[in-house]
Structure 1
Amino acid sequence: MKSTIYTRLTVIAIAGVLAACSAATPDDKKAQLEQLKKQEKDISKQIQQLESEIAQENPDSTTVVKSKEVTVAELALRKFDHYVKTQGSVDAEDNILVSAKSPGVVTAVYIKEGQQVSKGQVLAQIDNSVIIRSIEAQKSQLELAKTVFERQKNLWDQKIGTEVQYLQAKTNKESLEKQLESLNEQNDMTRIKAPISGTVDDVAIKIGENIAPGMPAVRVVNTSDLKLIANVSEAYVTAIKKGNSAVISIPELKKEITAKVTFVGKTIDPLSRTFPVEIKLPADGDLRPNMTGILKVIFHTEPSTIVVPVNVVQELNKEKIVFVAETNGKQTVARKRVVTVEGVYDNLAQVNGLKAGEKIITFGYQGLNDGQVIKI
């Protein structure tokens, strides 16, 4: 029977070759070659199918059926995360560019880059010589006004003098006190102070330079309070929520950080069609602002499901299929399983249509037919 089948296939092949040669012009050798290759492929498939059928009908036959070597893996239920992956950058919650509050010439710089400073510490001094002289003169006037007021008050307590004299002395003293307080505030504005505790990241001023409010003077960064900022496609706007688990990979440090999403933006950028997310980072002395981080936000987790390598999922006749190894008598054959793919992440696919314990074919699955004899 087998020889009859092969004879028929040979005849078909010869007829196909003759038909191809007669149909094509002598110059159209490329078209002839493509047609012959196609016929060879079809015939090979038919031979494989017939060999499988013969093996199934007569498993005890001594006829040797050519089998294809494959590699298999046994399926087991496992946890599988659905996530969105994007790139972000490390930023400091407190990353402040300090400027002067009053204009003038810088007379002293008390810090250097990399130095630790405390909140309120004086970083630099602007020329305040004129204000100091005004303060000294004001103090002298205030001392006189206080003396006059005390004497006038003593006289008024003894019912000597007029009330107007007492009130004038009191008003003069209080006015001078307020003027002195104002001068002290102006003097304090000539000192550039650290608004936060942290590290001096940049010193942009030098002694002798003119500075004005708004001009950058010193940058102070608090590296103990960092976050990662990233933008996520609007396709995930309903999936990403505050509190989602996140895994951050810092390539420069070769480390991974597990954290939670602490902020999800409500506005979509009209140009990039993305929305911002922020993840508060744990204190780490190696982290620096503007470092690049690869962010994975996990928005759904399947606690127990079937997962296969995505490359073993093939498409045939608009169906997703996977081949599994199945014992048939004394032989092992490939069986086609139609599956549905629920998600693909990290080259792994979550699928429905397979069961734990089945052995999927992970190598040699290309070109297999349903029922074809295989060798593991």
Structure 2
Amino acid sequence: MKKIFILSAVVFLAACGGKKDPKTELADLKKQQADINAKITALQATVGADSVKSTDVSVAVLKAGTFTNYVQIQGKIDAQDNVMAFAQVPGTITAINVKPGDHVSKGQVLVQLDASVLKQNIAAAQTKADLSKVVYQRQKNLWDQKIGTEVAFLTAKATMEGDQKQVDVLRQQADQYRIISPITGTVDQMDLKLGQSISAANSIRIVNADNLKVKADVPESYGSQINTGDVVKVLVPDAPDSLNAKLSFAAKVIDPTSRSFAVEVKLPQRKGIRPNMTAILKIVNYQNSKAISIPVKAIQKSEAGDYVYVAVNGIAKRTNVKAGATYGGITEILSGLKEGDQLVTDGASDIEDGSKIKIVKSGN
């Protein structure tokens, strides 16, 4: 009825304006009718939109930042200097100079074995060597005065040198009757008793706990991504402790049995960290310093691909995106979003493209 009334008014006004060519007049009237119908449609859409209930959503204003992807591997803390000290010959313990927990220096005698017979042999050999040296000195004095024969002089010299070498050999053998610390560190394990007969199977563990490292095995699939010098975050659950470091070693050869390669991270001196503790290595294998990253929960999937909703003037706009790597619930977006976009993070499942929305929470 409203359309008929408006059209009638237009016709009446046109009639009052004087006579026109019928064709021209008809064309003008149709144009006016089309303009009026368009205005009516727009007003009806506005009135109808005002009556549609909006959906409450939360949005995040997107900013470019650093996206980091990690390879997470479990490893074990070990001492860089973790050695077993033992006697090179069997014997009976005559002296124990240290106990577990003692700090020792490199070359320090830890345990003495019975070498009494060998000591007697050394004393006898030393006496003989001393006599040979006196004989040599006398022969040399005579030879310097051109007295005696050259053969006698050379024989005395050879005898003296041979006897001294024999003493040196016996002293080296005597050293084998001692357990000596090969490094500076702490006695960590020792189960020896005075008077006990021991062999090379009985040893003392010496650990330098000031120089620790983490050892781990990385699957061969990451062989092209991980190298010596890569940044790594070390987590020690039982300490608890964490620190940033770099890979000090990454093996070039793949173990044929485990299909993995070894990596190591040197650790600074730190309280509470002990050898054989479990450590988690988070090795950086990809980083983008200018990435648009969003929560993975904001991404929805369809047959056409991944998409998200962006808030534009109170309306939800469906936007197709190309996702990259995902770590820790955050996904890198390669295309489809830009800085400043208002990404719908909560409430996206209750809306569709073109839905009216109300932003109840906004963040970064």
Aligned-pair distance for 1:178?
A: 0.8
The structure-2 alpha-carbon separation of the partners of 1:73 and 1:230, relative to structure 1 and needing over 3 Å to count, comes to same
User: Which whole-Å CA distance do the structure 2 matches of 1:311 and 1:96 have between them?
Assistant: 51
Residue 267 of structure 1 is matched in structure 2 by 253
Is residue 321 of structure 2 the alignment partner of residue 339 of structure 1? yes
The structure-2 alpha-carbon separation of the partners of 1:336 and 1:183, relative to structure 1 and needing over 3 Å to count, comes to same
Residue 171 of structure 2 aligns to a residue in which SS?
A: helix
Q: Is the 8 A contact 2:86 2:179 kept in 1?
A: yes
User: Which whole-Å CA distance do the structure 2 matches of 1:146 and 1:104 have between them?
Assistant: 33
Q: Is the 8 A contact 1:97 1:216 kept in 2?
A: no
Q: Is the 8 A contact 2:112 2:177 kept in 1?
A: yes
Residue 247 of structure 2 aligns to a residue in which SS?
A: strand
Task: Encode CA deviations 1:90-132: one digit per residue, 9 max, x unaligned.
Answer: 1222111112122211222111112111111111111111111
Is residue 361 of structure 2 the alignment partner of residue 366 of structure 1? no
User: Which whole-Å CA distance do the structure 2 matches of 1:55 and 1:288 have between them?
Assistant: 75
Residue 254 of structure 1 is matched in structure 2 by 240
Residue 237 of structure 1 is matched in structure 2 by 223
Further displaced range: 189-198 or 285-294:
285-294
Residue 84 of structure 1 aligns to a residue in which SS?
A: strand
Residue 313 of structure 1 is matched in structure 2 by 299
Residue 183 of structure 1 aligns to a residue in which SS?
A: helix
- Superposition pairs for residues 96-115 of structure 1, below 5 Å? 96-115=83-102
The structure-2 alpha-carbon separation of the partners of 1:55 and 1:207, relative to structure 1 and needing over 3 Å to count, comes to farther
Is residue 127 of structure 2 the alignment partner of residue 144 of structure 1? no
Q: Is the 8 A contact 2:55 2:350 kept in 1?
A: no
Aligned-pair distance for 1:168?
A: 2.8
The structure-2 alpha-carbon separation of the partners of 1:146 and 1:62, relative to structure 1 and needing over 3 Å to count, comes to closer
Is residue 313 of structure 2 the alignment partner of residue 350 of structure 1? no
Aligned-pair distance for 1:216?
A: 4.1
Further displaced range: 297-306 or 276-285:
276-285
Is residue 68 of structure 2 the alignment partner of residue 86 of structure 1? no
User: Which whole-Å CA distance do the structure 1 matches of 2:160 and 2:258 have between them?
Assistant: 64
- Superposition pairs for residues 286-297 of structure 1, below 5 Å? 286-297=272-283
- Tell me the TM-score normalized by structure 2: 0.81
* Alignment counterpart, residue 143 of structure 2, candidates 144, 156, 171: 156
The structure-2 alpha-carbon separation of the partners of 1:172 and 1:56, relative to structure 1 and needing over 3 Å to count, comes to farther
Further displaced range: 82-91 or 262-271:
262-271
Residue 356 of structure 1 aligns to a residue in which SS?
A: coil
- Superposition pairs for residues 157-172 of structure 1, below 5 Å? 157-172=144-159
User: Which whole-Å CA distance do the structure 2 matches of 1:157 and 1:56 have between them?
Assistant: 134
Structure 1: unaligned runs, 5 residues or longer:
1-53
Amino acid at match of 2:262: P
User: Which whole-Å CA distance do the structure 2 matches of 1:349 and 1:62 have between them?
Assistant: 35
Structure 2: unaligned runs, 5 residues or longer:
1-40, 360-364
Residue 56 of structure 2 is matched in structure 1 by 69
The structure-2 alpha-carbon separation of the partners of 1:361 and 1:195, relative to structure 1 and needing over 3 Å to count, comes to same
* Alignment counterpart, residue 211 of structure 1, candidates 195, 198, 204: 198
Q: Is the 8 A contact 1:224 1:285 kept in 2?
A: no
User: Which whole-Å CA distance do the structure 2 matches of 1:167 and 1:62 have between them?
Assistant: 122
User: Which whole-Å CA distance do the structure 1 matches of 2:96 and 2:217 have between them?
Assistant: 39
Aligned-pair distance for 1:177?
A: 0.8
The structure-2 alpha-carbon separation of the partners of 1:315 and 1:83, relative to structure 1 and needing over 3 Å to count, comes to same
Amino acid at match of 2:183: I
Amino acid at match of 2:158: T
Among the aligned pairs, what percent are the same residue?
41
The structure-2 alpha-carbon separation of the partners of 1:55 and 1:273, relative to structure 1 and needing over 3 Å to count, comes to farther
* Alignment counterpart, residue 195 of structure 1, candidates 179, 182, 186: 182
Residue 106 of structure 2 is matched in structure 1 by 119
Amino acid at match of 1:254: P
Residue 228 of structure 2 aligns to a residue in which SS?
A: coil
Aligned-pair distance for 1:345?
A: 0.8
Residue 239 of structure 1 aligns to a residue in which SS?
A: coil
Q: Is the 8 A contact 2:249 2:263 kept in 1?
A: yes
Task: Encode CA deviations 1:115-173: one digit per residue, 9 max, x unaligned.
Answer: 11111111111111111111111122223222333333333334444333333332222
Aligned length: 318
Bigger Cα Rg: 2
Is residue 294 of structure 2 the alignment partner of residue 302 of structure 1? no
Amino acid at match of 1:212: S
Residue 315 of structure 1 aligns to a residue in which SS?
A: strand
Residue 32 of structure 1 is matched in structure 2 by none
